[in-house]
Amino acid sequence: MITLYGFGGNFGLADASPFVLKVDAYMRMSGIDFESSSDFNDFKKAPKGKLPYIKDGEQVIADSFFIFDHLKEKYKAPLEDGITEEQKAIANLIIKSLDENFYWCIVYSRWMRDDTWPTVKETFFGSMPFPLKVIVPVVARRGVKSALVKHGIGKHSDQEIMRIAESTLDSLSTILSDKTYFFGDTPSVLDAVVYAFVSQVTIVELNNPLIEMARKYANLVDFCRRIHQEYYAD
């Protein structure tokens, strides 16, 4: 049995991290049995100091990219069986855009905006004892701000970051169009990953300007709801 180590369910989703959620969705959509763990001690044991990672027997694999490789090789995960080599290449580039760009827009909207931060702070740190619940959020937020600046997106204004996010949503909405899935009538790895990221700004139980903007893309909202209902109904 595979164990997926993540942060745990929050904001109405199986995991508040799109990187954990895309592995979760990938395995669900591939019919691979697994269990999830969100014990904080798992984070301290993470082989690369970040989540997700999986344990499959004696093997421990970190980073969603390498986890996907492992699942494809060992379990013959079917999410790439029905797509062409060209579609696989397109999917790979879109996934990289979500990983390296859109993700940071989500992080900014949750951790840096004063209208969302109180909810995020209470969700992630509210159960900590005093004085940790006061000290840790300040330190964590400062660390996130530094990471955003190092990435580069943190050097932009709020309006500019929203525009960057909007361009990604525009492109995804155009590619999806009125199709059930991105490449037709059957799900692929791209659908699992897009669900993991776009659900964080559409069907999530939060509200901020990024989420309000994302919810205007009806086809993306319907896409996320459809996958959520099919694979996360329990």
pTM (2 decimals)? 0.96
The verdict on domain 82-234 having CATH code 1.20.1050.10 is yes
Chain center to CA of 123: 17
Which residues, 6 or more positions from 79, have their beta carbon under 8 angstroms from its beta carbon? 26, 29, 30, 187, 188, 189, 191, 192
53: number of CA atoms within 13 Å, CB side? Answer: 18
Neighbour-count burial for 68-86, b at 16+ CB within 10 Å, e otherwise: beebbeeeebbbbeebeee
* Per-residue pLDDT tens over the stretch 96-144: 999 999 999 999 999 999 999 999 999 999 999 999 999 999 999 999 9
Listed by start position, the domains of the chain span 1-81, 82-234
Tell me the pLDDT tens digit for each residue of 6-53.
Answer: 999 999 999 999 999 999 999 999 999 999 999 866 677 788 889 999
Can you tell me the distance from the alpha carbon of 28 to that of 232, in angstroms, rounded to the nearest whole number? 9
**CATH homologous superfamily for 1-81?**
Glutaredoxin (3.40.30.10)
Closest listed residue to residue 158, CA positions, set 198, 209, 116? 209
